[in-house]
């Protein structure tokens, strides 16, 4: 049974998230602040983190950045919970290491599906010792490692999933739905901006000139493709 850690300063939200995930057969631990949460993260080594953006003493994205600096948590799936009406924070949370977000008040079904999708991707890729090489890019699916022009690059789990999809089918034009379902495991309405942010962040890490991308190309009105 997979373990999920929830860090949120609001008791009501922690209880709600915990109830929903336990009904879906997850084990759940909760913490009310960043310090306690980090201690539990290191001690319990959960399979996924659900993190409140406005956690006390930290903003959610600063804590996410701190987590990503620890090698043992580089591939930890992180789902950010953001308050309503804070559109800027969506992009910022993804920019600094979260894999996905839900906006409060959240749909319980959507929350559970997003957690499952992130965990299923991690589980599905962790035992595949395959390597993909395309031009200057090398991707190790088993070791969750990427090199660009022989330099190691750190990717979040979602960025890694997107790059794996692209590299497995160079030249194929992926629709936005294909990318959302292939990398995240779902395609809810309103997630297009999430995908665009992940693509932009991935380009920042693998393109020589992210403003003029040559590796991941945009096909307007359709989606994206990995150049042959």
Tell me the per-residue pLDDT of 106-156, one tens digit each, with 9 for 90 and over. 888 889 988 988 887 666 555 555 788 888 899 887 777 899 988 999 888
- Cβ-Cβ contacts under 8 Å for 199 (sequence gap 6 or more): 162, 216, 224
Check residue 125 and give its pLDDT: 54
pLDDT above 90: residue 46: yes
pLDDT above 50: residue 217: yes
Separation CA 209–CA 31 (nearest Å): 41
Check residue 86 and give its pLDDT: 56
* Residue-wise pLDDT tens digits, 62-89: 788 888 888 788 788 999 888 776 544 5
Separation CA 188–CA 197 (nearest Å): 16
Check residue 105 and give its pLDDT: 85
CA separation, residue 183 to residues 13, 124, 130 (Å): 27, 11, 17
* pLDDT, mean over the chain: 84
pLDDT above 90: residue 49: yes
Check residue 203 and give its pLDDT: 95
Cα angle 163, 108, 20 (rounded to 5 degrees) comes to 100
The answer to whether 110 and 102 are in contact (CB under 8 A) is: yes
Q: Looking at per-residue confidence, does 167 or 117 come out higher?
A: 167
Give percent of the chain above pLDDT 70: 84
Q: Could you give the domains of the chain?
A: 3-123 (3.40.50.2300), 127-226 (1.10.10.10)
Residue bearing tokens 């789990």: 157
Check residue 194 and give its pLDDT: 79
The answer to whether 142 and 128 are in contact (CB under 8 A) is: yes
Check residue 22 and give its pLDDT: 95
- Helix or strand (DSSP H, E) at 226: strand 223-226
């Amino acid at each position: 049974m997979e373990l999920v850690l929830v860090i949120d300063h609001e008791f009501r939200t922690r209880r709600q998230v915990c109830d929903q995930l336990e009904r879906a057969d997850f084990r759940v631990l909760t913490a009310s602040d960043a310090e306690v949460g980090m201690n539990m993260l290191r001690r319990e080594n959960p399979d996924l983190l659900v993190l409140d953006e406005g956690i006390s003493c930290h903003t959610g994205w600063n804590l996410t950045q701190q987590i990503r600096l620890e090698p043992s948590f580089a591939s930890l799936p992180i789902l950010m919970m953001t308050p309503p009406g804070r559109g800027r924070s969506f992009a910022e949370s993804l920019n600094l290491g979260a894999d996905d977000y839900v906006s409060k008040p959240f749909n319980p079904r959507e929350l559970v599906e997003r957690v499952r999708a992130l965990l299923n991707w991690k589980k599905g890729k962790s035992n595949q010792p395959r390597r993909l090489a395309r031009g200057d890019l090398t991707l190790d699916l088993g070791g969750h490692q990427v090199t660009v022009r022989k330099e190691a690059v750190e990717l979040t789990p979602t960025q890694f999933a997107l790059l794996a999809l692209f590299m497995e089918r160079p030249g194929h034009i992926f629709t936005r739905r294909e990318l959302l379902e292939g990398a995240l495991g779902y395609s809810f309405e309103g997630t297009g901006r999430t995908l665009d942010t992940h693509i932009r962040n991935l380009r920042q890490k693998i393109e020589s000139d992210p403003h003029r991308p040559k590796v991941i190309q945009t096909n307007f009105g359709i989606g994206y493709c990995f150049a042959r």
